[in-house]
Structure 1
Amino acid sequence: MTFRQFAFNNVLRNKRLYIAYFLSSMFTVMVFFTFAIFAFHPTFSSGSINQNALLGMAVAGGIIYVFSFFFVLYSMSSFLQSRKREFGLLMMLGASNRQIRMMVFLENILIGFFATVGGILAGLVFAKVILLIAENVLIISESLDFYFPTLAIVVTFISFTFLFFCISIFVSFILRTNKLIDLIKGDRKSKGEPKASIILSILAALLLIVGYGSALYVKGEAVVFAMIPVIVVVTLGTYLLFTQLSVYVIRMLKNNKSIFWRKTNMLLLSDLSFRMKDNARTFFMVAIISTVAFSAIGSLYGFGSYLTKGVKEFNPFTLTYSPFRDDSQAIIKEDISKINAILQDEKIDAKMEAMELTYFETQEQDNTVLIVRASDYNRFAALIGEKELHPKENEAIVLGQSDTGKKVSERLMKSSILLDNGEEIQPSNVEASPVLLANNGFYVVNDKVHEQLGLPVRNDYSAVWKAQEGQTEQMIEVGRKINESDGDLQHKAFSIDYSLYEINKAYGPILFIGLFIGIVFFVSAGSFLYFRLFTSLDEEKRKLSAIAKIGLTQSELKKVVNRQIALLFFSPIVVALIHGAVALTALSRLFDYNLIVESSLVLGGFALIQIVYFLIVRFFYVKQVEREIF
Structure 2
Amino acid sequence: MTFRQFAFNNVFRNKRTYAAYFLSSMFSVLVFFVYAVFAFHPALKNINPNVAVGLHFAEGIIYVFSFIFVLVSMSAFLKSRKKEFGLMVMHGMTNMQLRKMVFLENVFIGFFATVFGMLVGFVFSKMILLAAENVLNLDEVLPFYWPVNAIVLTFVAFLLLFITISFFTVSVLKGNKLVDLIKGSTAPKKEPKASIALSLLAIFLIGIGYAGALIADGLQVVLAMVPVTIVVIIGTYFLFTQLSVFTINRLRKSKSFFWRKTNIVVMSDLAYRMKDNARAFFFVAIVSTVAFSAIGSLVGFRTMMTADLFKNHPFALEYTSEEGNGLETRHIQLIRKELENLPYKEASADIKRVISKSDSYNVTSQSGYNQLLTKLGRDAEQVDLKGNDVLLLYYESALDMAPRVTAQDKITFGDLVLEQKEVIPGNVFPAYRNFLVVSDDVFEQIKNFEWKQTYYAFYIKDWKHSLEAGKNLAKEIAQFDSEGKYEYFSLAYTWHEINQMYGAVLFIGLFIGAVFFVSAGSFLYFRLYADFEDEKRKFSAIRKLGLTDTELSKIITIQLALLFFVPIIVAVIHGAVALTALEHMFSFSLVKESTLVLSSFACIQIIYFLFIRSNYIRKIRRSI
Query: What TM-score does the superposition give when structure 2 sets the normalisation length?
Result: 0.88
Q: In the alignment, is the contact (CA less than 8 A) between 1:322 and 1:493 conserved in 2? A: yes
Aligned to 2:445: 455
Q: How many Å separate the matches in 1 of 2:115 and 2:621?
A: 35
Q: In the alignment, is the contact (CA less than 8 A) between 1:351 and 1:466 conserved in 2? A: yes
Aligned to 2:106: 108
Identify the match of residue 483 of structure 1 among 474, 477, 481: 477
Q: How many Å separate the matches in 2 of 1:312 and 1:322?
A: 19
* Structure-2 change in CA distance of 1:343 and 1:6 (3 Å): same
**Offset of residue 124 of structure 1:** 0.4
Aligned to 1:36: 36
* Structure-2 change in CA distance of 1:71 and 1:423 (3 Å): closer
Q: How many Å separate the matches in 1 of 2:361 and 2:150?
A: 62
Q: 2:43 is aligned with what amino acid?
A: T
Instruction: State yes or no: 1:608 paired with 2:606.
Output: no
Identify the match of residue 228 of structure 1 among 226, 229, 248: 226
* Structure-2 change in CA distance of 1:369 and 1:71 (3 Å): closer
Aligned-partner SS, 1:439: coil
* Structure-2 change in CA distance of 1:126 and 1:453 (3 Å): closer
Aligned to 2:532: 537
Aligned to 2:19: 19
Q: 2:407 is aligned with what amino acid?
A: E
* Structure-2 change in CA distance of 1:425 and 1:294 (3 Å): closer
Q: How many Å separate the matches in 2 of 1:83 and 1:237?
A: 32
Aligned to 1:465: 458
* Structure-2 change in CA distance of 1:91 and 1:498 (3 Å): same
Q: How many Å separate the matches in 2 of 1:359 and 1:66?
A: 53
Aligned to 1:248: 246
Stretch deviating more after TM superposition (244-253 or 592-601) = 592-601
Deviation string for 1:54-92 (max 9, x for gaps)?
333223222322322222222221221221222222233
* Structure-2 change in CA distance of 1:361 and 1:196 (3 Å): closer
Q: How many Å separate the matches in 2 of 1:157 and 1:565?
A: 36
Q: How many Å separate the matches in 2 of 1:425 and 1:60?
A: 55
- Superposition map of 1:89-488 within 5 A: 89-176=87-174, 178-327=176-325, 332-344=328-340, 347-357=341-351, 370=363, 372-373=365-366, 377-386=369-378, 388-389=380-381, 399-402=393-396, 408=405, 410-411=407-408, 414-415=409-410, 427=421, 431-437=424-430, 438-443=432-437, 450=440, 455-457=445-447, 460-469=453-462, 470-483=464-477
**Offset of residue 430 of structure 1:** 5.0
Identify the match of residue 516 of structure 1 among 511, 516, 525: 511
Deviation string for 1:484-504 (max 9, x for gaps)?
599889943211122233334
* Structure-2 change in CA distance of 1:493 and 1:536 (3 Å): same
Q: In the alignment, is the contact (CA less than 8 A) between 1:476 and 1:501 conserved in 2? A: no
**Offset of residue 134 of structure 1:** 3.0
* Structure-2 change in CA distance of 1:461 and 1:189 (3 Å): same
Q: Which runs of 5+ in 2 are unaligned?
A: none
Q: 1:595 is aligned with what amino acid?
A: L
Q: 2:191 is aligned with what amino acid?
A: E
* Structure-2 change in CA distance of 1:595 and 1:467 (3 Å): same
Aligned to 2:48: 49
Q: How many Å separate the matches in 1 of 2:534 and 2:325?
A: 84
Q: How many Å separate the matches in 1 of 2:70 and 2:135?
A: 30
Stretch deviating more after TM superposition (180-189 or 481-490) = 481-490
Deviation string for 1:174-230 (max 9, x for gaps)?
423733333333222221321101111111111111111112222233322222222
Aligned to 1:502: 497
Q: How many Å separate the matches in 1 of 2:153 and 2:528?
A: 34
Q: How many Å separate the matches in 2 of 1:88 and 1:387?
A: 86
Q: 1:243 is aligned with what amino acid?
A: T
**Offset of residue 255 of structure 1:** 1.9
Aligned to 2:8: 8
Q: How many Å separate the matches in 1 of 2:384 and 2:289?
A: 56
**Offset of residue 121 of structure 1:** 0.4
Q: How many Å separate the matches in 1 of 2:567 and 2:2?
A: 44
**Offset of residue 462 of structure 1:** 2.4
Q: How many Å separate the matches in 1 of 2:417 and 2:6?
A: 103
* Structure-2 change in CA distance of 1:434 and 1:517 (3 Å): same
Q: 1:544 is aligned with what amino acid?
A: F
**Offset of residue 383 of structure 1:** 4.0
Instruction: State yes or no: 1:562 paired with 2:557.
Output: yes
Q: How many Å separate the matches in 2 of 1:366 and 1:409?
A: 11
Aligned to 2:547: 552
* Structure-2 change in CA distance of 1:68 and 1:366 (3 Å): closer
- Superposition map of 1:563-578 within 5 A: 563-578=558-573
Q: 2:493 is aligned with what amino acid?
A: Y
**Offset of residue 450 of structure 1:** 4.8
Q: How many Å separate the matches in 1 of 2:283 and 2:498?
A: 35
Percentage of matched positions with identical amino acids? 48
Q: How many Å separate the matches in 2 of 1:534 and 1:409?
A: 64
**Offset of residue 98 of structure 1:** 3.0
Aligned-partner SS, 2:381: coil
Q: How many Å separate the matches in 2 of 1:574 and 1:613?
A: 15
**Offset of residue 114 of structure 1:** 1.2
Q: How many Å separate the matches in 1 of 2:361 and 2:167?
A: 76
Q: How many Å separate the matches in 1 of 2:621 and 2:534?
A: 14
**Offset of residue 561 of structure 1:** 1.0
- Superposition map of 1:579-618 within 5 A: 579-618=574-613
Q: How many Å separate the matches in 1 of 2:280 and 2:304?
A: 35
* Structure-2 change in CA distance of 1:43 and 1:333 (3 Å): closer
* Structure-2 change in CA distance of 1:232 and 1:353 (3 Å): same
Q: How many Å separate the matches in 2 of 1:86 and 1:48?
A: 55
* Structure-2 change in CA distance of 1:621 and 1:479 (3 Å): farther
Q: In the alignment, is the contact (CA less than 8 A) between 1:56 and 1:510 conserved in 2? A: yes
**Offset of residue 377 of structure 1:** 4.2
Aligned-partner SS, 1:301: helix
Q: How many Å separate the matches in 2 of 1:487 and 1:97?
A: 73
Q: In the alignment, is the contact (CA less than 8 A) between 2:317 and 2:490 conserved in 1? A: yes
Q: How many Å separate the matches in 2 of 1:359 and 1:147?
A: 55
Aligned to 2:520: 525
Aligned-partner SS, 2:347: strand
* Structure-2 change in CA distance of 1:84 and 1:387 (3 Å): farther
* Structure-2 change in CA distance of 1:80 and 1:387 (3 Å): farther
Q: How many Å separate the matches in 2 of 1:417 and 1:484?
A: 36
Instruction: State yes or no: 1:73 paired with 2:71.
Output: yes
Q: How many Å separate the matches in 2 of 1:487 and 1:91?
A: 78
Stretch deviating more after TM superposition (184-193 or 531-540) = 184-193
Stretch deviating more after TM superposition (23-32 or 611-620) = 611-620
Q: In the alignment, is the contact (CA less than 8 A) between 2:304 and 2:588 conserved in 1? A: yes
Q: 1:462 is aligned with what amino acid?
A: Y
Q: In the alignment, is the contact (CA less than 8 A) between 1:339 and 1:482 conserved in 2? A: no
Q: How many Å separate the matches in 2 of 1:549 and 1:533?
A: 23
Stretch deviating more after TM superposition (156-165 or 208-217) = 156-165
**Offset of residue 128 of structure 1:** 1.4
Deviation string for 1:544-590 (max 9, x for gaps)?
22222222221121111111111111111111122222222223333
Q: Which runs of 5+ in 1 are unaligned?
A: none
* Structure-2 change in CA distance of 1:385 and 1:530 (3 Å): farther
* Structure-2 change in CA distance of 1:486 and 1:172 (3 Å): closer
Q: How many Å separate the matches in 1 of 2:411 and 2:259?
A: 77
Q: How many Å separate the matches in 2 of 1:40 and 1:57?
A: 9
* Structure-2 change in CA distance of 1:487 and 1:187 (3 Å): closer
Q: In the alignment, is the contact (CA less than 8 A) between 1:97 and 1:177 conserved in 2? A: no
